[in-house]
């Protein structure tokens, strides 16, 4: 069954944001820079799921633009799928719009795509492949 893999939250400063979460008992398990997305990511495990704090490494990155337009806040919801290729084919056939056409590789080496918010009621939805996540 699909589950929420993580919630992506855009922040201006990872360390400052992580301080609040530490008061809630959530600690950073790792920090990774995803160069092609222009973002630094801190993972905070929360049970079966996790909070993913996203700090832009350059202002012209997707998260940089998001901060300019909307300020800090919830950026995306990530759901697991078992077979990402099949899920993408199903979504395309239904006319859904993806942010990028190709499957990307991100934090922890997992494979992912983003569904465009115009396709999903204003929510940026990330689909993460489950089996690769287990290896990460």
Beta carbons of 75 and 54 less than 8 angstroms apart: yes
Nearest to 55 by CA among 107, 5, 104, 115: 107
Q: Give the nearest residue (CB) to Co ion.
A: 8
Q: Which is nearer to Co ion, 78 or 91 (CB)?
A: 78
C-alpha span between 85 and 61 (Å, rounded): 26
Closest approach, Cβ 22 to Co ion, in A, equals 21
Strand partners, 35: none
Q: Which is nearer to Co ion, 37 or 97 (CB)?
A: 37
Q: Contact residues for Co ion (CB under 5 A)?
A: 8, 52, 78, 126
Q: Token match 């832009």: residue?
A: 56
Closest approach, Cβ 113 to Co ion, in A, equals 11
Q: Which is nearer to Co ion, 44 or 95 (CB)?
A: 44
C-alpha span between 96 and 124 (Å, rounded): 12
Closest approach, Cβ 126 to Co ion, in A, equals 5
Closest approach, Cβ 73 to Co ion, in A, equals 14
Q: Which is nearer to Co ion, 126 or 129 (CB)?
A: 126
C-alpha span between 67 and 62 (Å, rounded): 9
């Amino acid at each position: 069954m699909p589950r929420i893999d993580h919630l992506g939250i855009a922040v201006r400063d990872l360390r400052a944001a992580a301080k609040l979460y530490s008061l809630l008992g959530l600690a950073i398990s790792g920090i990774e820079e995803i160069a092609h997305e222009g973002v630094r990511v801190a993972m905070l495990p929360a049970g079966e799921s996790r909070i993913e704090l996203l700090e832009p490494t350059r202002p012209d990155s997707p998260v940089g633009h998001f901060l300019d337009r909307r300020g800090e806040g919830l950026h995306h919801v990530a759901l697991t799928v078992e077979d990402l290729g099949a899920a993408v084919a199903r979504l395309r056939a239904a006319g859904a719009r993806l942010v990028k056409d190709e499957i990307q590789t991100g934090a922890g080496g997992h494979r992912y795509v983003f569904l465009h918010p115009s396709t999903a009621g204003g929510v940026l939805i990330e689909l993460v492949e489950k089996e690769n996540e287990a290896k990460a």
